[in-house]
Amino acid sequence: MKTRYILMAVTALIAFSCTQELKQEDQPQSKERVTIKVSTSESLGTKVSMTEASDKKAMNLKWEISDKISVNGNEFSVTNIISDHEAEFEGADPGAASSYTIIYPGSYTDATAFNARTYTGQAQSGNSSTAHLEYNAMLSGVSDYQEPKFDTEWASEKGGSLVQNGVIQLRLQLPEGTSGANSVTLMASRPVFPSTNSASSDKVNEMTLALSNITLPSNRILEAYMMFSAAGVEWQAGDELTVAVDTPEDVYIRTLPMTAQNWTGGGQYTIQCKVQDANSFEINDASDLEEFRDGV
């Protein structure tokens, strides 16, 4: 009986060891960590954390230490900021592949997630603030991931393409006595605004930006920034764009005729006009127009 007990114990030990080996084999091997250098085009007009240029006609770009990108679904985090346009990221090696999809921000792990991003619920706190703006960009089908550049020419050279969202700058002069603004809405005469980053998404005819903590300067110019889809906006001759500003005093509107033009993803477009009860601004001479010229 004693011998039998020992044999059973040895058998149990062998079985336990085999089970442990199988468990270890089943566990996925940790991927090697790699560092890549990511850059943006110096001519790019929209990016992550934006600071206003002195003339307020362009944006400066700046990588932040909290930035992340995804490479074929693998998340990479900033480890070293080289300049506003260059930073080093570290993440799990995506391995050899026929092509790579590289997305900013890294919370979008694939093209489906990137394309599903919507532009509803935008909100800005403070006049002229750009803190709410988010840069979305996707490099698709590129052959290199070690030194990617969010640039159209680079993407083309690497056999792929780049799509990115855009920004609309609104410079709107409100009537005298206006104390602030609650929201601004862009209303097109037909559906022109893609609802997501996908070119095949349904189009809507209006976009709204909620506003808070708005203190107007002495010239009563409201400066607001609104993002639009990476799919861009296509205007046709004869289209109209109505700008509506909801204020504590009233809702002021201005309708502008549009020419045939395309607002491409990655671009910044400016709408500048007087918004004073549709067309209540009285023009006395040419200097009135030069002082604050309307335009899109």
pLDDT single digits (tens) 193-208: 999 999 999 999 999 9
Give domain status of residue 43, yes or no. Answer: yes
- Among the ranges given (50-64, 99-113, 190-204, 217-231), the one the predictor scored with the smallest mean pLDDT: 50-64
DSSP string, 5-32: HHHHHHHHHHHHHHHHHHHHHHSPPPPP
Mean pLDDT of the chain: 83
186 occurs within a structural domain: yes
pLDDT at position 277 over 60: yes
12 lies in some domain:
no
- The two structure tokens encoding residue 101: 């999809």
**Shortest CA distance to 70 belongs to which of 10, 24, 158, 137?**
137
Place 6 in a pLDDT band, splitting at 50, 70 and 90: very low
Q: In terms of pLDDT, which residue wins out, 269 or 208?
A: 208
- pLDDT for 233: 97
Q: What is the DSSP string of 180-242?
A: --SEEEEEESS--EESBS-TTSPEESEEEEEEES----TT-EEEEEEEE-TT-EEE-TT-EEE
Identity (one letter) of the amino acid at 106? G
Query: What is the rounded CA–CA span in Å between residue 266 and residue 160?
Result: 17
Q: What is the pTM of this model?
A: 0.79
Residue by residue, DSSP assigns 108-139 as --SHHHHHT-B--SEEEESTT--TT----EEE
- Find tokens 């403070």 and name the residue: 126
- Residue 135 lies in domain: 33-291
- For the segment 176-202, the average pLDDT, to the nearest whole number, is 96
The residues pairing with 123 across neighbouring beta strands, listed in sequence order, are 210
Instruction: Give the pLDDT of residue 43.
Output: 59
Which alpha helices (DSSP H) does the chain contain, by range?
2-26, 111-115, 152-157, 286-291
Q: Is residue 151 part of a domain?
A: yes
pLDDT of residue 199: 93
Q: What is the rounded CA–CA span in Å between residue 244 and residue 206?
A: 10
pLDDT tens by residue, 92-122: 999 999 999 999 999 999 999 999 999 999 9
Interval 8-31: pLDDT, tens? 443 443 344 444 554 555 555 667
> What are the pLDDT digits (tens) for 31-51?
799 999 999 876 554 444 344
Is the pLDDT assigned to residue 73 strictly greater than 50? yes
- Would you say residue 27 lies in a domain? no
Higher pLDDT, residue 292 or 200: 200
What is the spatial distance between Cα 78 and Cα 60, in angstroms, rounded to a whole number?
19
The answer to whether position 22 is within a domain reads no
Classify residue 236: in a domain, yes or no. yes
HSE-up (13 A, CA, CB side) for residue 2: 0
Q: How many CB atoms lie within 10 A of CB 268?
A: 16
Q: Which of 129, 128, 107, 127 is nearest to 116 (CA)?
A: 107
- 273 belongs to a structural domain: yes
Share above pLDDT 90 across residues of the chain, in percent, rounded to a whole number: 70
How far apart (Å, rounded) are the C-alpha atoms in residues 62 and 64?
6
Domain count, the chain: 1
pLDDT confidence of residue 244: 95
